[in-house]
Structures are given as structure tokens and as C-alpha cells.
């Protein structure tokens, strides 16, 4: 989900439930919580967490099932389970699918793997931070130049932190030091820019939002320096995913609570399943099945019919494609003119 400039508005007509900015701001409490865990681990637990947490979240299948994949699948379900959305965006979807196929199909013959990795990492970081800065923009009311200054400094710093964590086994000591120094300089620039730009924010609530996004990056950088890699990734991941789910569930409640308009909610109504849990349960169950069993099921089928094994066709192929499509579609599906926005309102 990538929000544009948004305003607080009353919930009227079709819109029965609103997205609360206070609730969205409350998600950032994960930042002091993770920092407190790191400090307590050093002071009282003798580095137990540091020694036992994975060096990166993808080492835990549970982490992949809880974060990242479910909200991507939730976004996909919102799009594909509503035929009018598919029809409205079909040209964009076809063009992007073709572009992904050409870029990764032909590009893989010429572009090194690490270059691909950095490109996807940059898009991932941009997507995560653009969502959070986009949401805050409606509260902070920053001038465009200030908004984009803070956004791009955040993305640049976030990218080097991401590379430092996920490619650390491929970096020598000198390269690791360069990554830390560049990320540190970008974080310092981000901090100084935020100090200057906060003068354009009129309300204390807006300043809380502005500084929450700044410390989203700076907090991750600090945890990265302390080698709490799991926590460094958990901080932005949880804020981003939870924010997206709040939008998705609000949209689906407002669209389907009176008259279910797709098969998911018609079946949910038939079995008296609470509308608030339909999308989260479906996306988490689907994430679990695909992550834990998807590749194995495909291998069994291809071996039985073709005597051929195809590795990671689901976890890398299908989920990778859905992630890239998610980054693409979320950039425009929540804009003001989008049909999605008929079912979204905001409140403080």
C-alpha cells in the first residue's frame, strides 16, 4: 500500500469504518520496544538474544509466514477477488507482467545476480518507506521538496542498511565498513534535514508522525550496527505490514459488510465468519501453505508427470512475481481517483 496525500474526513454513505491516524502512529511503538530489547539484552541477558536470533529474518520460515508474504497475498486477493478492479487495471497488469518476464528472462542472461538483487532490494525499500512517508504526508503537510528530500534520504539509507544485512556474507571487511559509513552519513543527513523540515509541520501530532518515520530508519541503522539484524529488519517490516492490513481490512469491511460482493465474503457470511478476520486468515493460511509446501507440491507433480524437478518455482517464482506486482500496483491502486478509495476514509 502506498498512500498519496490524504486528509481526515468524515465517514459517510458507503464508508462505515475509517483508518485512524492514531492507530497508524501507534504501530511505531515497535521502535522503542526493539531498542529496549537490545539494551536489556546487553545489560541483563548477556547477549542471549544476539546469539540466538537469526542473522537475517529469512532464516525463519515462521518470519516469512508472518511478515512480508501475507500482506502481499492480501493485496493480491483484494485485487483479483474483485472483478471490477481486475477489469479497471487489466492493461496495467498485462503490461507489467510482460515487463517482468522480459526483464528477468532476457536480463538474467546479461545482468549479474547481485545487480538483480540490489535492484529488487531498492524497489523493496522504496515501496516500504514510500508507504509510510505517504501516509504521514497527509498529517505533516510538508512542502513537496521537503517530503521528497526526507523520502529519498530515507530510501538511500535504508537501501545500504538492507544491503549490509542481507549481503553481509558476500562482503569483505572493507566493503562492510564502507556500507556502514555511507549508511551513517545518510542517516546523519536525514536527521539534520528532519530538524530543518519540522518547522513546516504545524501540529504536534504531525511532528510525531514525521519523527516516527525518521527513527524508523535511524533505529534500524542502530540495530544493524549492534548486529541485531533480525530486529533491524523487524522494525520497518512490522510497521509497513500492519499499516497495509489496516487499509485492506478497512476497505473490505466498507465494501462487503452490507452486501458481500465476492466469493470470499459470501462464503464468510454463509458461515457467520467475522468480516474483520476473513482477509487476514485467508492471506496467512495461503502464505503458510505456499511457503511451507508449495515447492514440494510442484516437485511431486512435475516428477510424476514429467520426471523433472523444478526448484523454488513457488517461493522464488510465483511469490517473487507477486511481490514485484504488489510493488507496482500499490503505487496507484490507492490514489485519490482509484476505485479502491471509494471504500476508504480517514479519521484522527
Residue carrying C-alpha cell 552519513 = 185
pLDDT digits (tens, 9 = 90+) for 57-79: 555 566 676 788 999 999 999 99
Split at pLDDT 50, 70, 90, the class of 4 is: very low
pLDDT digits (tens, 9 = 90+) for 28-39: 999 999 999 999
Asked if the structure places residue 4 within a domain, the reply is no
**Mean pLDDT, range 138-155, rounded to an integer:** 95
**Mean pLDDT, range 320-332, rounded to an integer:** 92
Full domain range(s) for residue 295: 19-347
Asked if the structure places residue 56 within a domain, the reply is yes
Residue carrying C-alpha cell 518547522 = 199
Report pLDDT for 34: 96
Burial string for 256-282 (b: 16+ CB within 10 Å, else e) reads beeebebebbeebeeeeeebeebbbeb
Share the mean pLDDT of the chain: 88
State how far the Cα of 339 lies from the Cα of 333, in Å rounded to an integer.
8
Asked if the structure places residue 2 within a domain, the reply is no
Report pLDDT for 117: 85
User: Over 90: is that where the pLDDT of 47 sits?
Assistant: no
Report pLDDT for 58: 57
Asked if the structure places residue 13 within a domain, the reply is no
Of 133-137, 162-166, 298-302, least confident by mean pLDDT is 298-302
Total of domains in the chain: 1
Report pLDDT for 8: 41
Greater pLDDT, 274 or 308: 274
Asked if the structure places residue 298 within a domain, the reply is yes
Q: Is residue 32 within 8 Å of 215, Cβ to Cβ?
A: no
Greater pLDDT, 287 or 14: 287
DSSP letters along 104-167, please?
A: HHHHTTTS-HHHHHHHHHHHHHHHHHHHHHHHHHHHH---HHHHHHHHHHHHHHHHHHHHHHHT
Instruction: Give the three-class secondary structure for 346.
Output: strand
Q: In this prediction, what percent of the chain has a pLDDT beyond 70? A: 92
User: Over 80: is that where the pLDDT of 142 sits?
Assistant: yes
Residue 153: CB partners within 8 Å, gap ≥ 6?
186, 189, 190, 193
Asked if the structure places residue 5 within a domain, the reply is no
State how far the Cα of 221 lies from the Cα of 244, in Å rounded to an integer.
23
Asked if the structure places residue 44 within a domain, the reply is yes
Report pLDDT for 3: 46
Split at pLDDT 50, 70, 90, the class of 5 is: very low
For residue 10, give Cα distances in angstroms to 19, 313, 344: 11, 46, 10
Asked if the structure places residue 3 within a domain, the reply is no
Amino acid at each position: 500500500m502506498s498512500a498519496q496525500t490524504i486528509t481526515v474526513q468524515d465517514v459517510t454513505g458507503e464508508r462505515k469504518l475509517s483508518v485512524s491516524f492514531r492507530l497508524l502512529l501507534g504501530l511505531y511503538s515497535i521502535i522503542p520496544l526493539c531498542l529496549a530489547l537490545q539494551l536489556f539484552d546487553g545489560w541483563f541477558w548477556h547477549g542471549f538474544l544476539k546469539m540466538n536470533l537469526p542473522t537475517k529474518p529469512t532464516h525463519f520460515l515462521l518470519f516469512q509466514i508472518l511478515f512480508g508474504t501475507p500482506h502481499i497475498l492480501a493485496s493480491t486477493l483484494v485485487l483479483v477477488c474483485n472483478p471490477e478492479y481486475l477489469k479497471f487495471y487489466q492493461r496495467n497488469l498485462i503490461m507489467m507482467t510482460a515487463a517482468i518476464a522480459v526483464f528477468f528472462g532476457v536480463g538474467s542472461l546479461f545482468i549479474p545476480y547481485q545487480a538483480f538483487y540490489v535492484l529488487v532490494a531498492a524497489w523493496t525499500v522504496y515501496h516500504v518507506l514510500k508507504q509510510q512517508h505517504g501516509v504521514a504526508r497527509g498529517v505533516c503537510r510538508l512542502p513537496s521538496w521537503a517530503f521528497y528530500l526526507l523520502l529519498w534520504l530515507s530510501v538511500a539509507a535504508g537501501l545500504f542498511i538492507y544491503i549490509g544485512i542481507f549481503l553481509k556474507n558476500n562482503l569483505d571487511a572493507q566493503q562492510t565498513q564502507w556500507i556502514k559509513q555511507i549508511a551513517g552519513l545518510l542517516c546523519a543527513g536525514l536527521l539534520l534535514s528532519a530538524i530543518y523540515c519540522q518547522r513546516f509541520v504545524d501540529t504536534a501530532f504531525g511532528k510525531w508522525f514525521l519523527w516516527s518515520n525518521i527513527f524508523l530508519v535511524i533505529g534500524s541503522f542502530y540495530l544493524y550496527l549492534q548486529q541485531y539484524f533480525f530486529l533491524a529488519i523487524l522494525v520497518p517490516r512490522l510497521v509497513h505490514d500492519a499499516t497495509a492490513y489496516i487499509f485492506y481490512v478497512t476497505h473490505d469491511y466498507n465494501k462487503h459488510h452490507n452486501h458481500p460482493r465476492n466469493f470470499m465474503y459470501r462464503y464468510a457470511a454463509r458461515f457467520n465468519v467475522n468480516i474483520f478476520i476473513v482477509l487476514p486468515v485467508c492471506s496467512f493460511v495461503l502464505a503458510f501453505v505456499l511457503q511451507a509446501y508449495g515447492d514440494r507440491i510442484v516437485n511431486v507433480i512435475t516428477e510424476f508427470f514429467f520426471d523433472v524437478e523444478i526448484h523454488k518455482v513457488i517461493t522464488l517464482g510465483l511469490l517473487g512475481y507477486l511481490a514485484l506486482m504488489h510493488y507496482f500496483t500499490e503505487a496507484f491502486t490507492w490514489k485519490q481517483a482509484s476505485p479502491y478509495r471509494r471504500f476508504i476514509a480517514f479519521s484522527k
